[in-house]
Amino acid sequence: MKIWSTEHIFSYPWETVIKAAMRKYPNPMNPSVVGVDVLDRNLDSQGRLHSHRLLSTEWGLPTIVRAILGTNRTLTYVKEHSIVDPEKKEMELCSTNITLTNLVSVDERLIYRPHPENPEVTVLTQEAIITVKGVSLSSYLEGLMALSMSANARKGWDAIEWIIQNSERENVPLCNLY
Amino acid sequence: MNSVGEGCTDLKREYDQCFNRWFAEKFLKGDRSGDPCTEMFKTYQVCVQKAIKDKDIPIDGVEFMGPNKEKPES
């Protein structure tokens, strides 16, 4: 089992980052995410928005890991549960793979919050638990995957920044004439 | 962005646009008035659930399983 965690700061207020996070895909930094669907969405009694999503990704495992594990599957599915608390200004996302579960388990948790000392800035704490099962060299493979996750986390942050900077008007109409 | 079900992409995009607008303009601004996207969501869902079944994607309901719970082998 390998535990990996990191923290990143976005120089934008929380609402801006959250809106981008909700619209993260597609983006040029994460071309391997090929499908995203919302399976369920609801507000709980505390006014928090829950979303359950299914993501399909071409990146499941680094090629070398796939070779060692002996799988040719390239399309992997991930399910994600997110909670947006607009009062507390907190967005939490938890995701886990639902295919290849007999070989590998990647659980990831992301939390976006305003920086405690500067509300114009947002902190993302990100952590993952990676477990490779049933083969020798599992801790080596887990290490490789953690490196892969590090690189992909960076791309994820760049993706959020890209979405913020390219915020298109198509999602926000100029006039509400209906 | 495409849907996991190829035939559902248009429905997905329509729903996403509606949701993103509601999320930014209402939800985040504390407006608790109803979600205008529910009908669109239902139509989109019918399509997605069928695609999930056809592709045999192991969704297992939408209950999230945390890292401490045992995942079914698949």
* The pLDDT value given to residue A71: 66
pLDDT tens digits, residue range B8-60? 999 999 999 999 999 999 999 998 777 899 999 999 999 999 999 998 888 87
Put simply, the answer to whether B23 touches A38 (Cβ < 8 Å) is: no
Please state the pTM of the whole predicted model. Answer: 0.82
* The pLDDT value given to residue B11: 95
- C-alpha triplet B11, B14, B19: angle, nearest 5°: 120
* The pLDDT value given to residue B50: 93
Put simply, the answer to whether B17 touches A49 (Cβ < 8 Å) is: no
Put simply, the answer to whether B4 touches A35 (Cβ < 8 Å) is: yes
In this prediction, residue A60 has a pLDDT band, given cuts at 50, 70 and 90, of low
Helix (H, G, I), strand (E, B) or coil at A124: strand
Put simply, the answer to whether B58 touches A100 (Cβ < 8 Å) is: no
Is B67's pLDDT higher than 50? no
Encoded amino acid at A99, one letter = T
Could you tell me if B68 lies within 8 Å of chain A, comparing CB atoms?
Answer: no
- Measured CA to CA, the distance from residue A24 to residue A95 in angstroms comes to 15
The residues, any chain, with a CB within 8 Å of residue A10's CB and separated by 6 or more, are A17, A121, A122, A123, A124, A157, A160, A161, A164
* The pLDDT value given to residue A47: 92
Distance of CA A99 to the CA centre of its chain: 17
- Measured CA to CA, the distance from residue A126 to residue A94 in angstroms comes to 10
* Candidates B1, B30, B74; nearest CB to A99: B74
* Candidates A54, A105, A171; nearest CB to B20: A171
ipTM (interface predicted TM): 0.80
Are A41 and A125 in contact by the 8 Å Cβ rule? The answer is no
If you average pLDDT over residues A61-73, what whole number do you get?
68
* Candidates A15, A40, A54; nearest CB to B28: A15
Put simply, the answer to whether B48 touches A39 (Cβ < 8 Å) is: yes
